[in-house]
Amino acid sequence: MFGLSTFQLVSGAALAAFIAGGAAYVIHQANEAGRHSERTTVNDRNRSAGDAGEDARLDRAACVAIGLRWDFVASECVRDL
């Protein structure tokens, strides 16, 4: 068939399978790296949001501790008149 021996056909098929497997592995690794990057980004954003919430809570607590009132609309500490 096409002037090729059985050994050449088997060797060619094995080489093609090896190349296809390598390509699949590279694509899998790229997808995995993308998912890892996305998870890291989401975790960083969640941590940042949590830190901002904690900072705001501490600001409100400090305001009330010195006898002032926290204005939630203006997000600032105000003195009662």
Domain ranges of the chain: 6-78
pLDDT of residue 2: 63
CB 64 within 8 A of CB 73: no
Which tokens sit at 30?
């790229």
pLDDT of residue 4: 74
Q: Give pLDDT tens digits for 48-66.
A: 999 998 999 999 999 999 9
Q: Is the pLDDT of residue 81 over 70?
A: no
pLDDT of residue 39: 92
Q: Where are the beta strands (DSSP E) in 1-81?
A: 69-71, 76-78
Dist. CA 75–CA 56, nearest whole Å:
9
Residues ≥6 apart with Cβ < 8 Å to 68: 77, 78, 79, 80
